Structures are given as C-alpha cells and as structure tokens.
Chain A
Amino acid sequence: MESLTIPTWAQLVLLLCAVGFILALKGLSGPRTARAGNLVGAGAATVACALPFFYADLDNVVLILVAIAIGTAIGVVGAQRVQMTQMPQLVALFNGVGGGAAALVALLELRTFADLDELGVDLPVAYLVATGFTILVGSVSFSGSVVTFAKLQELMTSRPVVFPGLPIAFGGAFVAALVVAGLIVGQPAVWAGVVLGLLGLAVGVLLVLPVGGADVPIVISLLNAFTGLTVAAGGYVLQNTVLLVAGTLVGASGTFLTLLMAGAMGRSVPNILFGALKGGSTLGAGQASDRPVRSAGPADVAILLAYAERVIVVPGYGLAVAQAQHTLRELVDLLAERGTKVDYAIHPVAGRMPGHMNVLLAEAQVPYEQLIEMDDINAEFKQTDVVLVVGANDVVNPAARTTPSAPIYGMPILDVDQARQVVFMKRSMRPGFAGIENELLFDPRTTLLFGDAKDSMGKLLAALKAL
C-alpha cells in the first residue's frame, strides 16, 4: 500500500496506456489494423511496466530486472519456436502463467493486509473481497490452462475425462473455496490465502477435465477472460487504474469473444463446461470402425479431379499437422491453370481454434480471396463436382444435423454431403477430434485416399501433372 501514491505525471502516462489498450483491441478486431493494434498494445504494456522504475522508490531493482529478463527470454523463445499448429496450446500456457502471476501478487498483498490487520488497521471489505477473488480465479485460470495445454499437446487424452464423484469433488472444492474466501474477508491471513489458492488449482483442474477436445479452445478463451478479470481485481487491490482498465477490457471482450466462438460452433458455454457431467453428450466411442469403405489410389483421384469443373477443398487440422498445406497450394494452382474453379471452404472452427485455419493457410501463402467462409460457400456444394476433404472430419460430419446425441449436434457444418463426389484424404479410419464416427465416409459417393496427407498430396500432385 506504500507505493500507492502515484505522481500526477505518471497517472497521465498510465491514462495514455489505458487508451493504448483500447486502441489495441479495436485494431486487433480488423484485418487491416490488426498488426498496428498489436504494436500499440505492446507499446502501452511496455511503457506501463517501465513506469514504476521512474516514479516509485523500488527496492531489489537488480533482482526485478533479472526476473523480467528471464521471463522475457522464455516468452521470446516460446513465441518463436512454436509451430503454427501448436498455437492454441501456447496461448493457453501464456494465459495460465498470467493468471498465476496475478494470484501470487494478490497473495503478497494479502500478507500486507494481514500485517495491517494485526496493527489494528480497519481494512475495507471490498479490498479483501477483491484479493480473495484474484487468488481464487487466478489459480483456477492457471491450473485450468495447464490442463487445456496437456489436452491439446496430447500429453493426456483429449477426450472428456469423467469419473464417478467428479461433480461432487468439483462442487465440494468450489464451496470450500467460497468458505475460505469468506474467512479471508472476515480476517485476512496468509495461510487462508494459500489454502484458497490450492483449492483454486483443484477447481481449475476439475473444471477442464470433463471438457472434450473440440471444445477446449472455447475454454481457453473463457479462461483468458477469467485472467482479465483477475488482473482487474488485482488492479483495484493495488489501486492502479491501468491494471483495472486493461484487465476489465480483456475480461469483457474475452467473455464476448467466448460467446461468439461458442455461437460459431452452435454450442452454449454451460453445455461445453458441464455437458459431459450430465452424461449423454459423450457418445463418441473414439474407436475406428471396420465397416467397408471405398478407397482409391492417387491416380484415380487425380483423374476425378482432372475432369471436374468445380472443386472445393476443405482443409482441416490434419493437413496442417502433416505440413501438407504448401503441396496443397501447388495442387490447387495446377487445377486452376487447367481451368478448374477451385476454392477453399473454411469452417469457423477449422483447425483447433476459430480462425486457426486462416493462420495456417496464410503461412502457406494461399491467397486470401480463395478462402471462403462457411456461410458463403455452403450453397455452392450442390453444384460442386468434387469436394476434397484433407485432414478434416468433424466439420463435415452430418451427425451434427442428424444425431441429437452426438457431441457436435447443432454445430453448423459444411454441407459437403450435397456434392456429387467427395474425396477424403485420411491417415486412418480414426474418428476426428470430437471422437465420433462420420457417416459420410460410408456414403457411396465418397472415395477415401488413405495415407499421410503430405505423402498422398505429393503423389496426387505428381499423378495430376502426368495426365
């Protein structure tokens, strides 16, 4: 509480930083201004964090600078090393450590409050509520993000993890956390803060475990909003306006973005979080079926494509994992040269996160104009000769329309089943991320080309060149 008095000039700089964050979010939401927005945000954050060194009488400056340098180095290496396919889990991890940092800051403030309390200082209830909130929600965000990371990185199963008693354990941990938070408001004590943090970690793990793989990105977005609110509450505790404004902006826009994403998948947020607990929505057996399918070699598929007038490519996460997007672009260019009209149909949640596929194809320098969003292209499938589905499954699964018990039921899908011919390029008969079988694979109009996407795509390209 000692460093709360901020000189007027520094307050004004912080105000500018807060405006910078607003402009950053505004910029990030438009394609032309996104890069500028990101730079403005980074600039504002840097200035805000450098400010205390100029106005506050800080101890331990060298140690603080060393810690910042270590964190910066980790952040730089992480951001540069990451493959674009692994982007969602990296964002989850960055979000988690932010939440953890906020929880630790609040824990240290609680220590100060506890000292003041012993001296008989009367502390405002609102401070203590905000401190408890930050510790609890920051811990939830940290452990929840670590579990989402483990799911996306496939360090653990991406399927919903449900065990008997999970709802009770979750409810118990949550209620216990509220009780301990109440204790803190009554009388601030560090031990209670530590217990609250541990309970928060348990709540975070139990919250994310039952979420199925395909829904994990929504949860990342939700936890991102949580961390934002945590930072806002921490800002109030520290009586720092820029923390409050920045945290609230992220909390509000993150919540809104979460709802937008859930809407794009035709899901509701409560259903995503608690659907698996109710049972029923975890239909997916996750096993490969041995029903007969029609498979073909690259030469047959090449002929099919060569005689088509209208082709639509549906790229999925499997394409990016195999790093086949560059070969795919060559194939599409070759078809276009031969007079075939080819476009890419982009499902809003293609890849692992909304907009993820656009990033992956942009990396392969696919022209922006060829990427057609779902709502604009769905009507065209009826007049399409061949649809080439590469490493996608759930986003073209008609079960979303027909099977109410399927976990993806209600999700808008690409109407691939209306095309004259469908070619699936798949590694195996294993179901997609949502873990459910795709009836379309067994349709008589469907042909399967088995193999690694990059390998098959190369062979297909060679076969088409030879025609």
Chain B
Amino acid sequence: MSNDITWLTFFVLSVFVGIEVISKVSSTLHTPLMSGANAIHGVILLGAVLVAGEADGFALVVALVAIVLAAVNMVGGFLVTGRMLQMFTRKPAARKGAER
C-alpha cells in the first residue's frame, strides 16, 4: 500500500502547487485563466485513448465517444483561450499605429 501513499503525496503536493501558481491572478484574467484550466483537464483524452486501445464491441463505441468529447474539451479549450488572449495583446500595437 506504500504505492498509494506515493499517489497521495502527488495529490497533496499538486493541490498546493495549483493554488500557489494562480494566487496572484488579477481579476482581468479570471476568464482566460478559467478557460485555460478548463482546457488542461481535457488531457483526459490520454485516458480515453488508453481505454479505447484495449476495448472492443460496445465498450469500444463508448470509449470512442469519450475520445470525441475529450478532444472537443482539449482542442476547443486551448483555441478559445488563445482567441481571448490574442485580443489582450494585439491591441496596444494596433493602437500605436492608429495614433500616428
């Protein structure tokens, strides 16, 4: 069972890291941060691929549905976050150009 203690250690340390890394976020970035974090849990795609890799019959169908859902989460999540952030960064340059 010492293996489970290792997993618990990963878990507890990750909790603290997760809180620590975003503790200084400004409210301006709440929306993109939520969206980016949302995309990160799309990595469940990895789990869905592993499960589908050894499934057959109806279980395979279920696993493939899981893959589609997870891919939507991951790919869509990162793209939409990118689109939001692009608007924050593109603007000052465009602005300088306009003032000339």
Contact = CB atoms under 8 A, between A and B. Distances in A.
A256 B73 contact: no
Contacts of A214: none
Nearest to A229: B41
A95 B41 CA distance: 8
Contact of A221 (B7, B19, B34, B95): B34
Interface size for chain B: under 10, 10 to 19, 20 to 34, or 35 or more residues?
Answer: 35 or more
Contacts, number: 380
Contacts of B95: 365, 367
A256 B45 CA distance: 25
Q: SS class of chain A's interface: helix, strand, loop or mixed? A: helix
Contacts of A87: 31, 35, 80, 84
Question: Which one of B43, B56, B94 has the greatest number of beta carbons of chain A within 10 Å?
Answer: B43
A187 interface: no
Given A29-B29, A101-B48, A354-B27, A75 B82 contact: no
Dominant SS at the B interface? helix
B8 to A, nearest CB: 9
A254 B37 contact: yes
A257 B22 contact: yes
A72 B42 CA distance: 12
B53 A56 contact: yes
A244 B46 contact: no
B82 A356 contact: no
B89 interface: yes
B71 A367 contact: no
Contacts of A363: 87
Contact of B59 (A21, A108, A252): A108
A38 B81 contact: yes
Interface stretch (A42-50, A164-172, A399-407, A458-466): A42-50
Interface string B47-77: 1111111111001101111111111111111
B48 A104 contact: yes
B36 A24 contact: yes
Interface of A: 2-3, 17, 21-22, 24-26, 28-31, 34-35, 37-39, 41-42, 45, 48-49, 51-53, 56-61, 63-64, 67-68, 70-72, 74-76, 78-80, 82, 84, 87-88, 90-91, 94-95, 97-98, 100-102, 104-105, 107-109, 111, 124, 126, 220-221, 224, 227-228, 230-232, 234-236, 238, 240-254, 256-257, 260-261, 264, 348, 353-356, 358-359, 362-363, 365-368, 371, 373
Interface of B: 1, 4, 7, 10-11, 14-19, 21-56, 59-60, 62-89, 91-92, 94-95, 98
